[in-house]
Amino acid sequence: MMRLIAAMMLVPAVLLAVEATKPAPRVRVETTKGTIVLELYPDKAPKTVANFLEYVQTGHYIGTIFHRVIPGFMIQGGGVTATYQGKPLRPPVANEAGNGLKNQRGTLAMARTSEVDSATAQIFINLKDNAFLDHKDETPQGFGYCVFGKVVEGMNVVDAIAAVPTGPGGPFAKDVPKEALMITKAILVEAK
């Protein structure tokens, strides 16, 4: 009987170990400059990853652009089309910036307004280490921007996007690429 109880107590630990060894999901993002592969961290930002994957699986990102590009800082997209039209959005996701991940070069994070829990579909990729975007505390000024993945292939494509000249465009006063940097496909791919 004691052996049965001991074995039953091991089952949850084994299941947790199996879950922990499960490969991180990856998303292939095809753009007019090339392909970027993103590895996601559902163990660190489960709500954010689920939110992003739902947008990916419904085709939301197809036909959107990188509409904000600031060399030496980040590239941002996923919210508007080439004609600056917004796409339908789901309710905002809770900000999981306190997950221990940092806004370092090549990391993927959620764009948001000054409201802590306002992220929907827009994402950005850090072009350098941006520690000032990291979670510091629970105040609106210190909450930070949620990192939930990183570029594992195609950082050269990210850098090519960052190199495109920018200026005003559509409703934006600055930082808009002078050529449409379109996302043509975004799909979940098998993790390596």
Q: Would the pTM of this model clear 0.85, i.e. be above it?
A: yes
pLDDT of 2 above 60: no
Choose among 37, 134, 119, 114: nearest CA to 78. 119
Asked whether residue 58 is domain-assigned, the answer is yes
For the ranges 22-26, 32-36, 48-52, 132-136, which has the lowest average pLDDT?
A: 22-26
* pLDDT-above-70 percentage for the chain: 88
pLDDT of 20 above 90: no
pLDDT the model gives residue 63: 97
Asked whether residue 156 is domain-assigned, the answer is yes
Region 99-128: mean pLDDT is 98
d(CA 7, CA 39): 35
Asked whether residue 15 is domain-assigned, the answer is no
d(CA 185, CA 132): 31
* CA atoms within 13 A of residue 53's CA, in its CB half-sphere: 18
Choose among 187, 191, 175: nearest CA to 35. 187
d(CA 173, CA 10): 59
Q: Which residue has the tokens 């109880």?
A: 5
pLDDT of 126 above 80: yes
pLDDT of 1 above 70: no
The CATH number of residue 62's host domain is 2.40.100.10
pLDDT the model gives residue 22: 79
Asked whether residue 4 is domain-assigned, the answer is no
Residue range(s) defining the domain that contains residue 146: 23-189
Asked whether residue 152 is domain-assigned, the answer is yes
Region 152-156: mean pLDDT is 98
pLDDT band (50, 70, 90) for residue 190: confident
pLDDT the model gives residue 31: 98
- Number of domains into which the chain is organized: 1
Please give the mean pLDDT across all residues of the chain.
Answer: 92
Asked whether residue 170 is domain-assigned, the answer is yes
Asked whether residue 9 is domain-assigned, the answer is no
Region 26-35: mean pLDDT is 98
Q: How many CB atoms lie within 10 A of CB 37?
A: 17
pLDDT tens-digit series, residues 38-97: 999 999 999 999 999 999 999 999 999 999 999 999 999 999 999 999 999 999 999 999
Write the secondary structure of 83-137 as one string of H (helix), E (strand) and C (coil). CCCECCCCCCECCCHHHCCCCCCCEEEECCCCCCCCECCCEEEECCCCHHHCCCC
Asked whether residue 5 is domain-assigned, the answer is no
pLDDT band (50, 70, 90) for residue 18: very low
91-126 as b/e: b if 16+ CB within 10 A: ebbebbbbbebbbeebbbbbbbeeebeebbbbbbbb
